[in-house]
Amino acid sequence: MVRSVKRLVVLGSTGSIGRQTLEVIASFPDRFQVIGLAAGENATLLAKQVAQFGPRFVCCRKLPPGDYQALSLEEMAAHPEADIVVIATPGRSGLGPTLAAAEAGKRIALANKESLVMAGEIITTAAEKSGASIIPVDSEHSAIWQCLEGERSAPQRFILTASGGPFRGYTPSRLAGVTPQQALAHPSWRMGRKVTIDSATLMNKGLEVIEAHWLFNMAYDNISVLIHPQSIIHSLVEFADGAVKAQLSHPDMRLPIQYALAYPERLANAALPLLNWDELTHLDFEPPDLAAFPCLKLAVQAGRKGGTYPAVLSGAGEAAVELFLTGRIGFTDIAATVAGALEEHESSSQPTIAEITAAEAWARQQVLQMAPGGSRC
Ligand SMILES: NC(=O)c1ccc[n+]([C@@H]2O[C@H](COP(=O)([O-])OP(=O)(O)OC[C@H]3O[C@@H](n4cnc5c(N)ncnc54)[C@H](OP(=O)(O)O)[C@@H]3O)[C@@H](O)[C@H]2O)c1
């Protein structure tokens, strides 16, 4: 059988997901070819990646040496030669390229959740119109995707699992004193700084509820969250007859990344660790503590309200994380800060992309201005 090599664009190639994506690609040179790489600041690592993969297109604030064409994120995401677009830039930087790839009918391997959080309706409508497919890279959504494979009946309920982060079991008063260094030490996953702090506050799980709503067209009432500290079950899907399917594997992002790239095939990859069933004696579950981790509730409420509230949630959340990481607010102030921006906001009901990006920028500005030390925007 002659198999065509898939040409890939990797946006955010120097980050946690980007580097793991390139690792997977390097294991299958007969299947995947990198034609585009994009990064933010890390020109040194990008230069090494350019030398190794020889992309035809590159995007970075400081361009490394090489024989390529410089393109914007959006131009690369929509490029006619790209078969698969991996979107692994954080926060608002994912929105433009995700929409461009959706409009251009691409296969999108989507790690960036904020784009669907902010503009889920616009992106999914554009994908439907163009024939683009959005395949999740987020481990929980990849798990759901895998559980739905081959099913002819609609699922009744999703249960998204969460490790609970480094502060599982902490009381609100103990949480008030935690430091950025402690919050950055996630027990199961090695990720970028923003998503690691979001995991510690459970904001990340709230963003994932919104992401699941848009990816699978599931009502918010039928998406719940369960704390599962071992991070072995990546999510569960319940069906009408009461059957529940789960996807289990080591917490290793290379698996959902590889599945999104190779879908619908499963490829043998010796680098991916297997579960050891002799050691795996028990799996634990508990409900999330919404009093200690109010960001989860805030996010789901913003998703349910819709309009520009999710964009405000995203922008305020990003700015609040920046303030926490730079020591200007405490850990428990993150939720209060985001709640304040959501309360101040007047939402539009069927927002355009321009209204969504304006609401997101307004929220960031609002949070940074209100913080001790004033605006740094
Ligand atoms: N890490 C995970 O395990 C994980 C799991 C599920 C979902 N996600 C999602 O995936 C996304 C990326 O997460 P991550 O952990 O990989 O983040 P990360 O380690 O911080 O990496 C972010 C990447 O995006 C680049 N970047 C940042 N701003 C950019 C811009 N304006 N233009 C172009 N490139 C830009 C960074 O470049 P420089 O480093 O060169 O500045 C880096 O390559 C997030 O939305 C996150 O929620 C991550």
Extents of the domains making up the chain: 6-137, 140-251+286-296, 306-377
Residues 239, 251: Cα–Cα separation, whole Å: 25
Residues 145, 128: Cα–Cα separation, whole Å: 17
Listed in order, strand segments (DSSP E) in 231-341 are 233-238, 244-248
What is the model's pLDDT at position 1? 54
Q: Residue 93: CB within 6 Å of ligand 1? A: yes
Please say if the pLDDT value at position 139 is more than 90: yes
Q: Span 75-88, mean pLDDT?
A: 98
What is the model's pLDDT at position 370? 80
Neighbours of 120 (CB within 10 A): 20
Top mutation candidate among 195, 210, 257, 321 for ligand 1, by most atoms within 8 Å of CB: 195
Residue pair 125/352 in contact by the 8 Å Cβ criterion: no
Neighbours of 359 (CB within 10 A): 27
Q: Span 124-140, mean pLDDT?
A: 98
Top mutation candidate among 10, 16, 137 for ligand 1, by most atoms within 8 Å of CB: 16
Give percent above pLDDT 70 in the chain.
98
- Ligand 1: residue whose CA is nearest its atom 35: 40
Q: Residue 160: CB within 6 Å of ligand 1? A: no
Q: Nearest to residue 118, comparing CAs of 275, 264, 306, 341? A: 306
CATH annotation of 306-377: 1.10.1740.10
pLDDT band at 187 (very low <50, low <70, confident <90, very high): confident
Residues 51, 41: Cα–Cα separation, whole Å: 17
Altogether, the residues listed in the chain come to a count of 377
Q: What is the DSSP letter of 5?
A: P
Residues 143, 226: Cα–Cα separation, whole Å: 14
- Ligand 1: residue whose CA is nearest its atom 5: 138
Please say if the pLDDT value at position 2 is more than 70: no
pLDDT digits (tens, 9 = 90+) for 278-311: 999 999 999 999 999 999 999 999 999 999 999 9
pLDDT band at 190 (very low <50, low <70, confident <90, very high): confident
Please count the CA atoms within 13 angstroms of the CA of 121 that sit on its side-chain side. Answer: 13
Q: Span 136-144, mean pLDDT?
A: 98
Residues 88, 352: Cα–Cα separation, whole Å: 24
Cis peptide upstream of residue 264 (ω within 30 degrees of 0): yes
- Architecture per CATH, 6-137: 3-Layer(aba) Sandwich (3.40)
Q: Residue 207: CB within 6 Å of ligand 1? A: no
Query: How far away, in angstroms, is 287 Cα from ligand 1 center?
Result: 29
Q: Residue 89: CB within 6 Å of ligand 1? A: yes
Query: How far away, in angstroms, is 204 Cα from ligand 1 center?
Result: 14
pLDDT band at 106 (very low <50, low <70, confident <90, very high): very high
